[in-house]
Amino acid sequence: MRLGIDIGGTKTAAVAIGADGELSDQVRMPTGFGAEAVVATAIRTVERMTALAGVGASAFTSIGIGIPGAVDNATGRVEHAVNLGLEGLDLGPRLADRLGVEVRIENDVKAAALGAHHLLGVADGIRVSSMAYLNLGTGLAAGVVLDGRLLRGGHGVAGEIGHIPVDPAGVRCGCGQRGCLETLASGLAIARTWPTASEHPARELFAAAEAGDARAQAVREEFLTGVASAVRLLALTVDVDTVVIGGGLAALGEPLLVGTRRILNRWADESAFIASIGLAARVQVIPFGFPAAAVGAALVGEHQWLKSSS
Ligand SMILES: [Zn+2]
């Protein structure tokens, strides 16, 4: 049995995967803020999962953690996880000391890519060789799985497509550049372009656009164009068979999928080249509630720690 834990900015979720690929019940709890609180959250999560399974931590053949920030998956160190109050933390070694078993650490979006890849394999009954996970959360980032293996790049930056500038005249991004993809298609982008007191700004935006509000339709179009641009970018750079959209905004579901495909189809009408690569058919939205990052974290060990051969 493998244990996967997804440490998010506000919530931590865990799931175990049996040898047959079956998922256990999930455990969820709030994430503590700051290094010591994050370590304590991880320990409490493992304790809850071992209690649930009626086994000790050593009964898990592997324990993996997905966490935001810059992760060195060889040393288990996490840096720049601003939302968790972490500047730098040797999370892997700290947990290994406490639990007496090895704990593998991976960036949360990369872990979610492995989880989505696993889900596609289960759904299709075959091993999907190449896919990308496009995370639309507060920001925008992607994880890429090629030939069944996570693409990390030489410095762990592979897939950080949210900071590719697509509009030189665009607004300033948090990274310091102008017009990054993230400034068009992310929770931050919607917060800027559709200010509201609603707890679910994206859902409110889509509902207003659907109801015929012209301004909402324009804002939604800019957002969907950003999403479609990200799909096109992933297809043209790494030629993945499938792009699975996940993250908090994936809860928009069908309207997000239909809108993204509509824009990709329009581009195909304008370009024989884009038409020839069949972008619209490659896009999916992850099923609501599937714990992609926790599942992927459980599988991190299986996929080795190899860096890309670049
Ligand atoms: Zn940026």
Average pLDDT estimate for 251-267 = 98
DSSP state of 125: T
Whether the CB-CB separation of 49 and 16 falls below 8 Å is answered with yes
For the chain, what is the radius of gyration of the CA atoms?
19
State the distance from the centre of ligand 1 to the C-alpha of 140, rounded, in angstroms.
9
Whether the CB-CB separation of 77 and 91 falls below 8 Å is answered with yes
pLDDT at 301 over 80: no
State the distance from the centre of ligand 1 to the C-alpha of 186, rounded, in angstroms.
11
In Å, how far are 33, 130, 154 from 65, measured between CA atoms? 17, 23, 21
Do 68 and 213 belong together in one domain?
Answer: no
User: Tell me, what's the pLDDT at 260?
Assistant: 98
- Residue 290 inside a domain? The answer is no
User: Tell me, what's the pLDDT at 307?
Assistant: 35
Do 194 and 67 belong together in one domain?
Answer: no
Do 100 and 142 belong together in one domain?
Answer: no
State the distance from the centre of ligand 1 to the C-alpha of 40, rounded, in angstroms.
32
* Final residue in a domain of this structure, among 88, 106, 124: 106
Do 256 and 179 belong together in one domain?
Answer: yes
State the distance from the centre of ligand 1 to the C-alpha of 183, rounded, in angstroms.
7
State the distance from the centre of ligand 1 to the C-alpha of 94, rounded, in angstroms.
32
Average pLDDT estimate for 98-105 = 92
State the distance from the centre of ligand 1 to the C-alpha of 217, rounded, in angstroms.
25
Measured at the CA of 137, the angle between CA 132 and CA 142, to 5 degrees, comes to 20
State the distance from the centre of ligand 1 to the C-alpha of 159, rounded, in angstroms.
13
Do 59 and 184 belong together in one domain?
Answer: no
State the distance from the centre of ligand 1 to the C-alpha of 29, rounded, in angstroms.
31
User: Tell me, what's the pLDDT at 126?
Assistant: 62
Alpha helices in the chain (DSSP H): 35-53, 91-99, 108-124, 187-193, 201-210, 214-238, 254-270, 272-276, 292-299
State the distance from the centre of ligand 1 to the C-alpha of 141, rounded, in angstroms.
11
Do 59 and 160 belong together in one domain?
Answer: no
DSSP state of 168: T
State the distance from the centre of ligand 1 to the C-alpha of 165, rounded, in angstroms.
7
User: Tell me, what's the pLDDT at 125?
Assistant: 61
Do 84 and 141 belong together in one domain?
Answer: no
> What's the total number of domains in the chain?
2
User: Tell me, what's the pLDDT at 156?
Assistant: 83
State the distance from the centre of ligand 1 to the C-alpha of 139, rounded, in angstroms.
9
Residue count (the chain) = 310
State the distance from the centre of ligand 1 to the C-alpha of 268, rounded, in angstroms.
27
State the distance from the centre of ligand 1 to the C-alpha of 104, rounded, in angstroms.
28
Backbone phi, then psi, for 80, in 5-degree steps?
60, 35
- Residue 154 inside a domain? The answer is yes
State the distance from the centre of ligand 1 to the C-alpha of 171, rounded, in angstroms.
10
Do 131 and 276 belong together in one domain?
Answer: yes
**Domain housing 46:** 2-106
Tell me the whole-structure pTM to 2 decimals: 0.92
Q: 136-190: per-residue pLDDT in tens?
A: 999 999 999 998 889 988 888 899 999 999 999 999 999 999 999 999 999 999 9
pLDDT at 83 over 50: yes
State the distance from the centre of ligand 1 to the C-alpha of 132, rounded, in angstroms.
20
* Final residue in a domain of this structure, among 106, 137, 155: 106
Closest listed residue to residue 190, CA positions, set 172, 175, 205: 205
How far apart CA 19 and CA 26 sit, in angstroms, is 17
State the distance from the centre of ligand 1 to the C-alpha of 170, rounded, in angstroms.
11
How far apart CA 48 and CA 66 sit, in angstroms, is 18
Domain of 248, CATH number, reads 3.30.420.40
- Residue 116 inside a domain? The answer is yes
How far apart CA 38 and CA 85 sit, in angstroms, is 9
State the distance from the centre of ligand 1 to the C-alpha of 310, rounded, in angstroms.
24
State the distance from the centre of ligand 1 to the C-alpha of 230, rounded, in angstroms.
14
